[in-house]
């Protein structure tokens, strides 16, 4: 617990100080608002990913599912209008998440296989629907979702904040959260205690899917078009934010609050590296190293548990 209480906050402060020395613009209100706006999508996917990880799973399909929903919701929006399009996107997220959940909880596929299969299928369907081309001609009002402001705060960041608070309360204050932790900690014990394990697993995957759906719709609004490749890398980023925050894969240990710190750390790192002109290619390499390092350090700290 010392990592999420002391270590990670210290790293965040250190990064913020370093970047503000290297580039004075880092602390400008404009840039911080940018960090918030950019981190909003990651917040949504990371919250979902964290809950799935706490239940003992993980989702590799996030990125491709975002692409699929972006394309499908855009098509519906062009055909039938703004609200039905957004609703379709979110509902699709729930459906896809629940499908992943059924594969894991009912068919007993390892999450790795289930979500890898979903990744491939989602990518295929997205390319079939779009023909590989972006879908434009979206309603003009739709832009507000990604670019709008509420009391000078970026709307996506406001959505992310609400989701963070909601997920935190759900995981800490409700029976649902308690059972998710129990299933991740010892599925047999949960079963023996009378917890309907399959139902709760499918529910947590569906909830994660809902958040992925929201993320896809917001991202599509920011891109002002539907793209099959819109969510590229989102699975890794959401897993990275989760494990950097200190939520362990497959042990039911960690929290939404930890992941908030993970998202902040990732946001500052990405933004800071951009400000000091480190190319995205190097950032990808850094991300790989950070993920492997975070999991290694976590295992090392909890050896013998």
Which uninterrupted H or E stretch holds 175? helix 175-185
Beta-carbon count within 10 A of 281 CB: 8
Q: For the chain, report the end-to-end CA distance as a whole number of angstroms.
A: 14
91 φ/ψ angles, rounded to the nearest 5 degrees: -65, -35
Supply the DSSP symbol for 107. Answer: S
- Write the CB contacts of 104 (distance below 8 Å, at least 6 apart in sequence): 57, 110, 111, 114, 201, 205
Question: Which listed residue (188, 277, 281, 303) binds other proteins by CB under 8 A?
Answer: 188
185 binds other proteins (CB under 8 A): yes
- The pattern of x and - marking residues 116 through 155 that bind other proteins according to CB under 8 A reads ----------------------------------------
Residue 223 gets the label, from left (phi > 0), alpha (psi -120 to 50) or beta, of alpha
Tokens of 276: 């000091």
- Only one of the segments 80-88, 174-182, 204-212, 271-279 lies at the binding site for other proteins (rule: CB under 8 A); that segment is 174-182
253 binds other proteins (CB under 8 A): yes
189 binds other proteins (CB under 8 A): yes
251 binds other proteins (CB under 8 A): yes
182 binds other proteins (CB under 8 A): yes
51 binds other proteins (CB under 8 A): no
190 binds other proteins (CB under 8 A): yes
Question: Which listed residue (5, 106, 143, 175) binds other proteins by CB under 8 A?
Answer: 175
Footprint of other proteins (CB under 8 A): 173-175, 178, 181-182, 184-186, 188-195, 251-253, 305
């Amino acid at each position: 617990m010392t990592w999420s209480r002391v270590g990670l906050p210290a790293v965040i402060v250190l990064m913020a100080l370093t970047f503000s020395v290297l580039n004075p613009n880092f602390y400008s209100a404009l840039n911080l608002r940018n960090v918030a706006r950019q981190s909003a999508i990651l917040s949504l996917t990371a919250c979902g990913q964290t809950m799935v990880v706490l239940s003992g799973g993980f989702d590799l399909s996030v990125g491709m599912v975002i692409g699929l929903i972006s394309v499908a919701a855009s098509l519906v929006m062009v055909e039938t209008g703004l609200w039905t399009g957004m609703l379709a996107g979110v509902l699709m997220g729930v459906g896809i998440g629940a499908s992943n959940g059924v594969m894991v909880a009912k068919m007993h596929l390892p999450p790795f296989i289930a979500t890898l299969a979903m990744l491939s299928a989602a990518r295929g369907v997205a390319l079939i629907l779009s023909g590989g081309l972006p879908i434009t001609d979206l309603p003009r009002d739709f832009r507000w979702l990604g670019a709008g402001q509420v009391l000078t705060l970026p709307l996506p960041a406001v959505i992310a904040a609400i989701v963070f608070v909601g997920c935190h309360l759900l995981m800490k204050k409700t029976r649902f959260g308690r059972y998710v932790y129990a299933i991740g900690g010892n599925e047999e014990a949960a079963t023996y205690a009378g917890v309907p394990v399959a139902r709760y697993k499918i529910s947590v995957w569906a909830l994660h899917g809902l958040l992925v759906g929201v993320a896809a719709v917001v991202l599509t609004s920011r891109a002002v078009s539907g793209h099959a490749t819109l969510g590229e890398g989102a699975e890794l980023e959401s897993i990275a934010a989760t494990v950097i925050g200190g939520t362990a894969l497959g042990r039911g240990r960690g929290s939404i609050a930890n992941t908030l710190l993970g998202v902040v750390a990732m946001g500052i790192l990405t933004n800071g590296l951009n400000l000091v002109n480190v190319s995205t290619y190097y950032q990808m390499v850094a991300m790989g190293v950070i993920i492997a390092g975070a999991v290694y350090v976590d295992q090392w700290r909890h050896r013998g548990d």
